Amino acid sequence: MAEYPKDGQKITVQDGKMVVPDNPILGYVEGDGIGPDITRACLRVWDAAVKKAYNGTRKVHWMELFMGEKAAEKFGGNYFPPETLELMKEVVVSIKGPLTTPVGGGFRSLNVALRQDLDLYACVRPVRYYEGVPSPLKRPEEIDVIIFRENTEDVYAGIEYQSGTAEAEKLDVFLRTELKAKGFFEKSGLGIKPISAFGSKRLVRKAIQYAIEHKRESVTIVHKGNIMKFTEGAFRNWAYEVAREEFAEHIITEEELYSKYNGKQPEGKIVIKDRIADIMFQLMLLRPSEFDVIATMNLNGDFLSDAIAAEVGGVGIAPGANIGDNIAVFEATHGTAPKYANQDKVNPGSLLFSGVDMLEYLGWKEAAALIVAAYPEVLKRKFVTYDFARQMDGATEVSTSRFADEIIKQIESMGDATEVQARRTKAIQQERKQREDLRVAKPMEQMVASGRTPHTVGDIMAMSLVTVRPNVTVEEAMHLMRKNRISSLIVQPDDDSNDWGIMTQTDVLVKIIHANRSPAAVKVGQIATKPVRAVPSDTSLHDCVTSMTEGNIRRVVVEKNGVPIGIVSDTDVFRTVEEFGWLPAE
Ligand code: NAP
């Protein structure tokens, strides 16, 4: 019953890539409750932006698709008719308002059904600040992230059994007797958390592809792998695997950023890093500018996207999309707010910005940029819907449609939106540079402050090595150590061997003072320990300490290609474990 528009062409997919004509047919679902109000308003704004940006050479041909209550009326009670599913596949890109989930048994949530039936495995939620939007943060402008939340697995897979049922009892017995599982009370409700390599990798792949295409700075993998090793920990490992195996020329890891590049991010490379989920919430409040693209599992992503959205204006303006392999359904992230239905009252921001992301997804960046630039201008004049008006002094409360009129007026009066975009790009670059300078100047301090948990010697090593030739006198070497406030020196190989050595304060005490020799008469090469005990930078802290214990030494040298690049002492390991804790391997 949905009808194709008279004009327009369908988007096609060739060799896995979308081909977007200048007159694409896009689907839209009006939605329930406040859906029709916001959809009507947004369609006008998107069309105005496209018209202004391309002078009429590009135009969207909209096709209404039916889901929710409107579908139920037309399709004899069917809230999600099969034809809508098919048409969403055919038109490739659609946008939808919020939908009511019918109450009563036997209904899947329409949104869940949509994700599952179209295999839209990535829930993509960009969150950024727009000037003038009320925010509880001191510097909300630092927030500009895009969250890729896995949409199909995790505890949302629906494999759970109610306490006291035969199924829960059966699973309980199986876990205790067959798998010898412990640590849960009898008659618990039980749920299963499936996390697969397939599901994790396709999500992370999408996040990295996005980061590359949009020249973003980093991709952060958020997980709770320190506790749930084989689900969340595995997600982290698979994420790094996909990054290394499929995007080697585009990425570096955060470990390499410090160990190989001394904190300087090479041009054009994206840093892959990971953070523990609970710390991430804190970091998004305290150091949000360090995060960019975020990739995480279903439950973490659910919490995190709402929490970050709340930092910059709440769900009223947070956009979202569910994306699979090419097929994408953009959507308002809030619900149907039934008490405001048909009052022309609510904020169209969430759907509006979902449309902005949709335009970017099509590659129509200029039209998207116009809306992004127009929005804060209208806010500056304090023309806002009721939800912002109640948080702003001196605001003029306007209706949904009036707000859209103001945005359109602004778009039509604007010059080149690329200028606004260029200013923003410049500000982001400056801010990145400042952070880089700090990383270079104070690597350990910055690493700790940025919430990274050190895992390897490369993470905690001191890079300020002082090396000397073996024929330098011990006296000279001692002056050098005092001047640099260090307790050991690295000794270069002599003519006879390629072995590097190390001379420590203890060597001086034992082999010079205790042995009653003159430091001016003894050469460093004569008392240095050779060859130095060295480990590669990816050595775990556990293996590093094993090496120290076996060699009865207090420090190891970190090497790369046979050349020392850093040094780790027992004090460094002690401090790290004191600060970050220690999870013994099982
Ligand atoms: P909701 O519809 O999101 O509304 C909760 C509150 O959020 C509203 O009362 C309003 O706050 C505020 N709000 C939501 N959208 C707004 C907008 N555009 N502008 C300004 N304020 C906005 O959540 P709900 O009441 O829990 O859910 C209602 C229905 O929506 C349910 O049937 C649920 O299943 C469905 N739902 C659908 C989706 C979806 O389709 N994606 C998502 C979530 C929920 P104030 O009262 O403070 O003004």
Question: d(Cα 171, Cα 160) in Å, to the nearest integer?
Answer: 10
Residue positions counted in the chain? 586
Q: Which atom of ligand 1 is nearest to the CA of 332?
A: 41
Ligand 1, atom 48: nearest CA belongs to which residue?
Answer: 387
Asked if 68 contacts 113 with a C-beta cutoff of 8 angstroms, the reply is: no
- DSSP state at residue 262: T
Interval between CA 37 and ligand 1 midpoint (Å): 14
**Residue 569: its H or E element:** strand 563-569
Q: Is the CB of 387 under 6 A from ligand 1?
A: yes
Residue 173: strand, helix, or coil: helix
Q: Measured in whole angstroms, how far is the alpha carbon of residue 78 from the centre of its chain?
A: 37
Provide the whole-model pTM: 0.81
The yes-or-no answer on residue 201 being catalytic is no
Question: d(Cα 372, Cα 382) in Å, to the nearest integer?
Answer: 16
| Strand runs labelled E in 206-269 | 218-223, 251-253
Q: What is the pLDDT along the chain (586 residues), one digit of tens a residue?
A: 899 999 999 999 998 889 999 999 999 999 999 999 999 999 999 999 999 999 999 999 999 999 999 999 999 999 999 999 999 999 999 999 999 877 655 566 788 888 889 999 999 999 988 888 888 888 898 999 999 999 999 998 888 999 999 999 999 999 999 999 998 999 999 999 999 999 999 999 999 999 999 999 999 999 998 889 899 999 999 999 999 999 999 999 998 888 788 888 999 999 999 999 999 999 999 999 999 999 999 999 999 998 999 888 776 788 999 999 989 999 998 899 999 999 999 999 999 999 999 999 999 999 999 999 999 999 999 999 999 898 888 999 999 999 999 999 999 998 776 776 777 778 888 888 888 888 887 777 787 778 877 878 888 888 778 999 999 999 999 999 999 888 899 999 988 888 899 999 999 999 999 999 999 999 999 999 988 889 998 898 999 999 999 988 888 999 988 889 889 999 989 988 887 777 665 4
Q: Is the CB of 81 under 6 A from ligand 1?
A: no
- Which three-class secondary structure string do you get for 383-410? EECHHHHCCCCCCEECCHHHHHHHHHHH
Locus of tokens 């009429």? 56
Question: d(Cα 397, Cα 399) in Å, to the nearest integer?
Answer: 7
Nearest to 144 by CA among 132, 122, 123, 129: 129
Locus of tokens 């975009």? 421
Select which of 28, 121, 156, 361 is catalytic: 156
Question: d(Cα 501, Cα 491) in Å, to the nearest integer?
Answer: 5
Ligand 1, atom 39: nearest CA belongs to which residue?
Answer: 98
First to last CA, the chain: 60
Is the peptide bond preceding residue 36 cis, with omega within 30 degrees of 0?
no
Question: d(Cα 87, Cα 3) in Å, to the nearest integer?
Answer: 10
Ligand 1, atom 41: nearest CA belongs to which residue?
Answer: 98
Q: Is the CB of 302 under 6 A from ligand 1?
A: no
CB atoms within 10 A of CB 125: 25
Residue 484: strand, helix, or coil: helix
